[in-house]
Amino acid sequence: MALQYAIPLDAGTLQRANARCLPRVDAAPCDATLARFAVESLIEEAQLTPKPALVDGRGSGAHRDLNLPLMLRSARSLEPSFSALARASRGRLPSATLRAELAQIGRAGELDMMRATNGSNAHRGAIWIVGLLVAGAAIVADDDNNALRELLPYERTHSHAARVCELGAQIACFPDRFAAPVDSHGERVRQRFNVGGARQEAQDGFPHVIGIGLPALRAARSKGIGENAARVDTLLAIMAALDDTCLLHRAGLAGLHAGQRGARAVLAAGGVTTAAGRAAFDALESGLLSLNASPGGAADLLAATLFIDKLARHAPAGAEN
C-alpha cells in the first residue's frame, strides 16, 4: 500500500525512537550514521579505479574542472546536509511538506558543495539521489526500531533495501512547492531526448539501484570477484541500461550509445577481471574520452547502490535484506 499522509508524532514518541539508535551492529542507524554511510559511499565511488572517463585514482577522465581531491572535499562537505536530511525525515512519512523541507536542505547542501569545490558541480545529482535514500532510510530506521511500526500503513514484506527505495520514491513524487524554475543541463537533456533523468529514476523507485546495481554487486561477490572489480562491473551494469543524461549532455546520442554498448561489451567479455574484458574496457574509455563524455549519472547511481548495500549489511537482526 502506498504511503499517503504525514503522521505527526508527539515529542515523547520521537524521543523514544531516537533513543533506540544504539551503537550495536544490529541497531538501526541513527542520523549521524546514515550521513556517514552516504559520505563513505560518495568517497568510495570517487576512489574506485578504473572507471571509464570518470574521475578516479588515475586522473580526471573527461573532466577538466574535477579531480579526485576535489571530489573528496565535495563528498565530505555534504555530511552535515545528509545528517540534516535524516533528522528532518525521522518520525515522518512522505508528504509535500517533508518534500519541501528536504529540498531546502538539499539546496543548502549544494551551496556547501560549491564552496568546497570553488564552484565545480561534483555531486549535485548525488545530493538528490543519495539524499532521498538517506531520508527513506531514516524513516525505515524508525520502523525497524518499532517506534512507528503501527503507524506505517504498508506491509513489512518488502526487503529492507526495497523499503528504503520505496519511501525515497514516494518523497520524490511530491512536488517541490518552493523550487525556482529549473534550467539545468539535466533538464534540457530530459526535454530534448525525452528521457527521465535523475528525477524519474527517483520517482520510479530507483530501478537502476535496486533492480540492477545491487543484484550485480551481489552476483559479482558470489562469484568470488574482488570487491574493487565487483564495483567496477556494477558500474558497467548500470551504464549498460541507463539513459545517462551526463553522456547525453556532453555528446548526445553518440555518447549514450558509446557508453551503453561499450559497457555491455565489457560485461559480455567476462568483466574487468578478464583479459578480454579489460581490453573492452580500454576501448570503452577511449571512445568516451574521444567524445569528451563521462557517465556521471551512472556514477551517482553506483554511489547510491553502495549506500543501499551498506544499509542492507547493517540492517537490524531479522530484517530481510
What digits encode the pLDDT tens for the residues 261-294?
Answer: 999 999 999 999 999 999 999 999 999 999 999 9
Contact assessment for residue 134 and residue 106, using Cβ atoms and an 8 Å cutoff? no
Percent of the chain surpassing pLDDT 90 = 74
**Whole-prediction pTM value?**
0.86
Q: Looking at the DSSP assignment, which residues form a beta bridge with residue 59?
A: 56
The CA distance from 177 to 179, in Å, is 6
pLDDT in tens, 49-95: 999 999 999 999 999 999 999 999 999 999 999 999 999 999 999 99
CB contact burial 105-142 (16+ within 10 A = b; e otherwise):
bbeebbebbbebbeebbbbbbbbbbbbbbbbbbbbbbb
The residue with greater pLDDT, 313 or 156, is 313
pLDDT interval class at 40 (50, 70, 90): very high
What was the pLDDT predicted at 297? 96
159 in Cβ contact with 218 (< 8 Å): no
Could you give the CA distance from residue 207 to residue 220 in angstroms, rounded to a whole number?
Answer: 19
Contact 43, 102 (CB under 8 A): no
Residues in the chain: 321
Tally of CB atoms within 10 A around 257 = 13
Helix (H) or strand (E) holding 313: helix 296-313
C-alpha 185/C-alpha 174 separation (Å) is 22
Rounded CA gap, 311 and 313, in Å?
Answer: 5
Res 193 pLDDT > 50: yes
Domain ranges of the chain: 28-177+197-313
DSSP 149: G
Of the listed ranges 15-29, 73-87, 124-138, 235-249, the least confidently predicted one is 15-29
The pLDDT of residue 2 is 34
| Spatial separation of the C-alpha atoms in residues 310 and 307, rounded to whole Å | 5
Fold of the CATH domain 28-177+197-313? Triphosphoribosyl-dephospho-CoA protein (1.10.4200)
At residue 213, the pLDDT reads: 98
Q: Name the CA dihedral angle for 225, 231, 234, 236, rounded to a multiple of 10 degrees.
A: -110
The mean-pLDDT minimum among 126-135, 143-152, 154-163, 263-272 falls in 143-152
CB 170 within 8 A of CB 205: no
| Three cell numbers, residue 286 | 577511449
∠ CA 205-312-131, rounded to 5°: 50
Span 125-143, mean pLDDT? 93
Question: What is the number of other CB atoms lying within 10 angstroms of the CB of residue 80?
Answer: 15
**70 C-beta neighbours (distance < 10 Å), count:** 19
